[in-house]
Structures are given as structure tokens and as C-alpha cells.
Amino acid sequence: MTREKILQKCFEMARHNLHCYSTDFSCTTPKAGYEKQHVETKEELDVLETWLKEIQNDPSTLIKFNVVIWLDDEDGEGEAVIGTLEAASECHASLLLKERIRNGKYPKGTWLDYIHNGKNISLDTLGRIA
């Protein structure tokens, strides 16, 4: 289990607790008698969110993915690396790829490759490709 996953679990639990200490889904108003817990939990969420963003933006924790496309032209056919992408996890990489395809940076049909524990792993916008 990674530090990011542990922090994410803590964040989700704190968010659940905040809902329990709140009178509504917006979590802006504490329940009577839970004012202190409400304030402390909001502060905890702020800290956890900051730590998660630091991990996701820390270059030493980012995984480098090759952005790959299948070419079929007069020179032949085959895979071509058209760029690189850095992400905190496979899920993060798939989401970034989806966003960049939607924004027109990469063409449809693009996928990601990287080496993990000596194995080549391929991802598309939905996750691992079998």
C-alpha cells in the first residue's frame, strides 16, 4: 500500500465523519453538540487534501508514461511514441489521457505504456489493457 492510498483512505474517512457531524450534505452547519468535531474534521480534511496534492505534484513520486499511437501509412504500420505523460498512478494517467484526447492534444485511439516490475503495462482511458 502506498502513502497516497493511505492518505486517500484517511481523507475519505474524514469526509464521512464530517457528514456525520453536519446537519446537511453541504457540511456547512454542524449538528448540535458536535461543533468542535466539525471544526477539527474540516481542518483535518484541509491538511489531508494538501498532502495528497503534494504527493501528486512531487516529481519523485510521478510515473512516466509513453503516449503511443498506431500508425498505418505509406511507410508501413506500427506503434509510435508521440509524447510522454507523468502521473501519480495508473488511474491518474488514464484520466489525464482521457482529458487530453477530449481537448484535442492526442488523437482518439492513443494509449499509454510504461514498465512496472519488469513488465510492459498498457493503459487506455479506462485503465489497463489486457
Domain residue spans of the chain: 3-59, 62-128
Rounded Cα distance, 91 and 56, in Å: 12
Position 114 scores a pLDDT of 92
Q: What 3-state DSSP class applies to 53? A: helix
Grid cell in block for residue 91: 488511474
- Cβ-Cβ contacts under 8 Å for 48 (sequence gap 6 or more): 7, 10, 11, 14
Instruction: Please report where in the chains the cell 505509406 appears, as a residue.
Output: 74
Q: Rounded to the nearest 10 degrees, how much is the dihedral formed by the CA atoms of 52, 55, 57, 62? A: -130
- Digits of tens for pLDDT over the chain (130 positions)? 678 888 888 988 999 999 999 998 888 899 999 999 999 999 999 998 888 888 777 767 788 999 999 988 777 788 999 999 988 788 888 889 999 999 999 999 999 999 988 899 999 888 888 6
Residue among 51, 109, 59, 64 at smallest CA distance from 90: 64
Position 111 scores a pLDDT of 94
Rounded Cα distance, 76 and 99, in Å: 29
Position 59 scores a pLDDT of 67
Position 89 scores a pLDDT of 81
